[in-house]
């Protein structure tokens, strides 16, 4: 059994690990509460419902407009036949043609009234969309402000923590050569790298970090006949705060943004949560992770969708000429 020994090391390691979070339980709970409070579930559900209504009314209107075109053609055919019969003097089917024209005329009038009603409902629902977008935008602004504040607080805490050496104590098992002593095994660079990487994995989780280690203490170690070693070690870990750590904090808190391509067959104006972000047929914008309302407008027409942004994505909106 190896008694306590001290090795002065300078190991620089870059390691990608999975497991722990850089955030404390308290910070994770605060993030959870903010996300629950500002998830906009009710508004987004209502927005989806209103957009569905607009789509339905537009489809009905298009069908009615096509029906009117057909009915006008039928009306004109009855009108010609009745005129021809009246001019010929037979007038055998005049009443039939007249009644048919009257019926078709009523159908055209009814369809037009329904179109006018649909257009009024579409306009009313567009105003609802704008109102819901305003509410979602205001909520998202507060949501982002609170998460940004939590991120800044976490960054300040971690930087302060990293300004001093982090004491690490590690228990584990490793394989050494049965032909070398325990001391020789622990002085091996590969062994030291493994221990450092194990410590990083258990402490920091999914992140690339660079560290320096000194005062490496083997508190206890026991090797069996096959070279299997059970150990307890401790050392000071010096962590360099870098962009990888910053990116991981942003990811864990949920304030990361993604590139979203907005595509349209016409030069449309685009809005995200009620805020104008640009216009054109091909627009690239940064949108924070989460659910958002995206609105496209072109010459009085508009298309609105609710998108859950979790990665870079391309969204397409089409308009009539």
pLDDT of res. 5? 41
Domain interval for residue 193: 5-36+165-249
- In this predicted structure, the answer to whether residue 19 has a pLDDT above a threshold of 80 is no
Give the model's confidence band at 113: pLDDT under 50 very low, under 70 low, under 90 confident, else very high: very high
Mean pLDDT, residues 225-251: 86
Burial 25-36 (b: 16+ CB within 10 A, else e): eebeebbeebee
How many helices (DSSP H) and strands (DSSP E) are in the chain?
6, 10
Q: Are residues 285 and 226 in the same domain?
A: no
Strand partners, 233: 170, 218
Helix, coil or strand: residue 166 = strand
How many CB atoms are closer than 10 A to CB 58? 16
- CA-wise closest residue to 266 among 298, 295, 314: 298
Mean pLDDT, residues 279-304: 89
**298's tokens:** 């072109």
User: What is the C-alpha to C-alpha distance for residues 173 and 163, in angstroms, rounded to an integer?
Assistant: 30
Please give the model's pTM, rounded to 2 decimal places.
0.68
User: What is the C-alpha to C-alpha distance for residues 185 and 271, in angstroms, rounded to an integer?
Assistant: 62
Give the alpha-carbon dihedral of 305, 308, 311, 314, to 10 degrees.
-10
Q: Are residues 298 and 198 in the same domain?
A: no
Q: Is residue 49 part of a domain?
A: yes
Domain termination site, one of 155, 178, 213: 155
- In this predicted structure, the answer to whether residue 309 has a pLDDT above a threshold of 60 is yes
Q: Are residues 16 and 99 in the same domain?
A: no
HSE-CB at 1 with a 13 A cutoff on CA atoms is: 7
Give the model's confidence band at 207: pLDDT under 50 very low, under 70 low, under 90 confident, else very high: low
pLDDT of res. 210? 65
Residues 76-101 have pLDDT tens digits of 999 999 998 888 877 788 899 999 99
Give the model's confidence band at 10: pLDDT under 50 very low, under 70 low, under 90 confident, else very high: very low
Domain termination site, one of 249, 284, 303: 249
Q: Are residues 172 and 151 in the same domain?
A: no
Q: Are residues 17 and 93 in the same domain?
A: no
User: What is the C-alpha to C-alpha distance for residues 133 and 125, in angstroms, rounded to an integer?
Assistant: 12
Mean pLDDT, residues 250-271: 92
Helix, coil or strand: residue 69 = helix
């Amino acid at each position: 059994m190896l008694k306590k020994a001290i090795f002065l090391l300078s190991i620089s390691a870059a390691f990608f690990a999975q497991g722990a979070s850089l955030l404390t339980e308290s910070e994770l709970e605060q993030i959870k509460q903010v996300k629950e409070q500002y998830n906009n579930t009710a508004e987004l559900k209502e927005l989806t419902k209103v957009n569905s209504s607009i789509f339905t009314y537009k489809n009905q209107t298009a069908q009615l407009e096509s029906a009117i075109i057909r009915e006008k053609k039928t009306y004109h055919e009855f009108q010609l036949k009745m005129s021809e019969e009246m001019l010929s003097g037979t007038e055998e089917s005049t009443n039939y043609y007249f009644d048919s024209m009257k019926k078709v005329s009523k159908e055209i009038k009814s369809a037009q009234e329904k179109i006018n009603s649909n257009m009024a409902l579409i306009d009313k629902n567009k105003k609802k969309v704008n109102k819901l977008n305003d509410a979602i935008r205001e909520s998202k602004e507060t949501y982002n402000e609170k998460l940004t504040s939590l991120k800044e607080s976490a960054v300040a805490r971690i930087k302060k923590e990293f300004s001093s050496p982090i004491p690490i104590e590690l228990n584990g098992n490793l394989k050494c050569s049965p032909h070398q002593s325990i001391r020789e095994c622990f002085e091996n660079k590969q062994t030291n790298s493994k221990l450092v990487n194990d410590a990083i994995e258990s402490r920091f989780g999914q992140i690339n970090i660079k560290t320096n280690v000194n005062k490496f203490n083997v508190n206890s170690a026991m090797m069996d006949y096959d070279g299997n070693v059970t150990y307890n070690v401790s050392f000071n870990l010096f962590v360099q705060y870098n962009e990888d750590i910053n990116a991981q904090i942003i990811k864990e808190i949920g304030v990361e943004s993604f590139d979203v391509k907005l595509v349209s067959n016409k030069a449309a104006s685009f809005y995200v949560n009620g805020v104008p972000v640009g216009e054109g047929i091909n627009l690239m914008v940064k949108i924070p992770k989460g659910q958002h309302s995206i609105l496209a407008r072109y010459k009085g027409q508009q298309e609105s969708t609710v998108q859950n942004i979790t990665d870079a994505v391309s969204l397409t909106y089409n308009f009539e000429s």
